[in-house]
Amino acid sequence: MVSIQNSTTFLKVTLTSQKMSQKTETSNIEQLTTLDQQLLWHPYTSMSEPSPQYLVEKAQGMNIYLADGRVLTDGTASWWSVIHGYNHPKITQAIQDQTALFSHVMFGGLTHKPAIKLGEKLVEISPAGLERVFFSDSGSVAVEVAMKMAIQYWHTQGKPQKQKFATPRSGYHGDTFAAMSVCDPVNGMHGMFSSTLTNQFFLAPPPQGLNSPIDEDYLISVRTLFEQHANSIAAFIIEPVVQNAGGMRFYNPLYLYEIKRICEAFDVLFIADEIATGFGRTGKMFACDHANITPDILCVGKALTGGNITLAATLTNDKVALGISQKGGVFMHGPTFMANPLACAAANASLELLGSYTLDKLISTLAQNLIDALSPCRALSSVYDVRCFGAIGVVELHEPVNLKTIQPLFVDEGVWIRPFGKLIYLMPPYIASQDDLNKLGNAIFKVIKKIRG
């Protein structure tokens, strides 16, 4: 066991003296990871039984280079954000250029070119009618901002009682409190936080299947909820076409089109959470484009900066923005690092790269390669379903996996894949080649066979 005091000194010495490109000594790796486990909380982990963490030395293109010399092909794009691969020279250059000018200035009373350029670009590429942009630091905060916008809008319209939200189960919108209140009640752990979380209105998840026929009863359930409660509902919030962290479920985009119309009929705003699906992941710039709808409010994050620096944005239309602003009203939110210039510069470079791709062709090739890579898993009896949509490939098992057991097996196969529950999925960087995807698909096949036979 390394004492914290000694190991902190050790850490300073190690990190300053060590060239990061060099392979780290095994004993150093052990000391660093032990220190990590003593000090640092990782996502969704215990401090008394910490999960193993792999020390990363560098990342480049499709690869994550571990300090012990192993190289992992990445199937996750670091939680779906690193769409152009790691350390893309154009994005790195843009960040360096901006660093040479200034890394940050407050956004209250000051502005800068990277933010203005990014705002203009986001309005240009998002569904027509979204004209106003609010920058924040993370996806969860973008959702908080969207929910506040909806409530504040109705307040200025003389309907202050419209404070609640309607949403389907199996959704995921973030880990902050308002965002958590619209996550799936089970995955979002509503029980544990029940006295703090607002009770929202939950609908069934949209029936699965991109092409499955529309279930009229589902639409009736939405209409019935609004008939009874629209006077207290500020907005409906949904992840368009793909419910991601709540179950990797794909549904027919026509539901979005129909629900948007029902929202309009009942004076309920429509919030699209495209934090996971935005910037091409489903084959169109935004998943809403599959349904030809413009939401009242759109949240983006994750891939906005090509996964380089945390940044999110909440876009809205004139109706909401000017509604909030009428009679001297101001929108009540203003983070310290709003529109951070480095993040905006990274986002501008990322969107330029995205604009240089033939997006539909790129993603349809990826989609076909994902299908080819994952289809063999259908033959395994422990596999319940294999489904792919755009650059998303999912292998759903009958039973949940144990992350602590399965993670090292993937690392042994030279891949970085991070399953949850019953789901082993790939959401790779868009630069993934057929060989990369075959390697990832083979690893999934092999590991499932190993643990489940």
Contact assessment for residue 107 and residue 308, using Cβ atoms and an 8 Å cutoff:
no
Contact assessment for residue 71 and residue 63, using Cβ atoms and an 8 Å cutoff:
yes
**Binding to ligand PMP in span 222-251, by CB under 6 A:** 239, 244-245
Quote the least distance from Cβ 251 to ligand PMP, whole Å. 14
Nearest to 302 by CA among 277, 283, 336: 277
Quote the least distance from Cβ 247 to ligand PMP, whole Å. 12
296 binds ligand PMP (CB under 6 A): no
167 binds ligand PMP (CB under 6 A): no
Quote the least distance from Cβ 50 to ligand PMP, whole Å. 21
Between 244 and 407, CB nearer to ligand PMP: 244
**Binding to ligand PMP in span 5-64, by CB under 6 A:** none
The set of residues, in sequence order, having a beta carbon less than 8 Å from that of 126 and lying 6+ positions away, is: 285, 286, 298, 315
CA separation for the pair 26, 21 (Å, rounded): 15
275 binds ligand PMP (CB under 6 A): yes
301 binds ligand PMP (CB under 6 A): yes
Quote the least distance from Cβ 322 to ligand PMP, whole Å. 26
Stretch that binds ligand PMP, among 136-144, 229-237, 316-324, 427-435 (CB under 6 A): 136-144
Contact assessment for residue 242 and residue 283, using Cβ atoms and an 8 Å cutoff:
no
Two structure tokens written together for 427: 């959401």
Two structure tokens written together for 123: 């309005």
173 binds ligand PMP (CB under 6 A): yes
Residue spans of alpha helices (H) in 4-101: 4-17, 26-39, 77-80, 89-101
Nearest to 145 by CA among 348, 346, 328, 311: 311
Quote the least distance from Cβ 417 to ligand PMP, whole Å. 16
Between 33 and 187, CB nearer to ligand PMP: 187
Pairing, β 132-136 against β 201-203:
unpaired
Residue appearing with tokens 């207290």: 232
Between 136 and 369, CB nearer to ligand PMP: 136
136 binds ligand PMP (CB under 6 A): no
Q: Which residues are catalytic?
A: 44, 172, 273, 302
Stretch that binds ligand PMP, among 127-135, 139-147, 160-168, 225-233 (CB under 6 A): 139-147
CA separation for the pair 213, 252 (Å, rounded): 8
The residues with which 133 forms a beta bridge, in sequence order, are 315
CA separation for the pair 198, 150 (Å, rounded): 15
Stretch that binds ligand PMP, among 11-19, 220-228, 270-278, 315-323 (CB under 6 A): 270-278
Binding site for ligand PMP (CB under 6 A): 138-140, 143, 172-174, 239, 244-245, 273, 275-276, 301
